[in-house]
Amino acid sequence: MARKVGLGRGDVVRSAASIADRDGLDAVTLAAVAGDLGVKSPSLYAHVAGTDGLRHALAFHANKAIHRALAEAADTPGEPDERLRAVANAYRVFANQHSGLYASLLPAPDPATDPELAEAARRSVDVVIALLPDAARFDDSDTIHRIRAFRAALHGFVSLENDGGFGLPVDLDASFDHLVDTAVDTLLRK
């Protein structure tokens, strides 16, 4: 294959994201991305540092993408509880529409070894923190516990939903709304 003129890091990451969403995160390999872009695998090394570099770039891209989705949802008019519900719905939509990208968000990056990726991940948490009462602070352990519970509830639901874990014939949207109501009430309690 001839080298593609104008191929950049963004092209490589977008290809990896497309493969992840279509075929799952495990399908994201240098060979798969190279095949998708019509180049040989070694030419990708000009843009990413091997498979680890590709996965890192994909995680960074995923964190930016989910942050955009959550920030846009949080920016809607309304009371904090309504805006948090919008954030929860945006989270679910992102996880359902971009299941491979969503999978690349885990594990959480370690701020000591990867401060740039940790900061990218932190921006989504900051969206939620900004909607909490003024008294809430990130260094307050109760606030951290409530934010973790909120995220765990959302992650658990979308993971079960994406993996076919709900089999009872009850409306999933209604179940999600019930979960979100409970999670938002817990998050906003004083």
The amino acid sitting at 155 is H
What is the per-residue pLDDT for 1? 43
The first and second tokens of residue 59, run together, are 């995680």
The first and second tokens of residue 39, run together, are 């180049």
Per-residue pLDDT of 26-79, as tens digits, reads 999 999 999 999 999 999 999 999 999 999 999 999 999 999 999 999 999 999
Spatial contact of 154 and 91, defined as CB atoms under 8 Å apart: yes
All domains of the chain, ordered by start, with CATH? 60-188 (1.10.357.10)
Distance CA 82, CA 7 (A): 43
Instruction: Determine if the pTM surpasses 0.85.
Output: yes
What is the per-residue pLDDT for 80? 92
Kindly state the DSSP code that residue 131 receives in the 8-state scheme: T
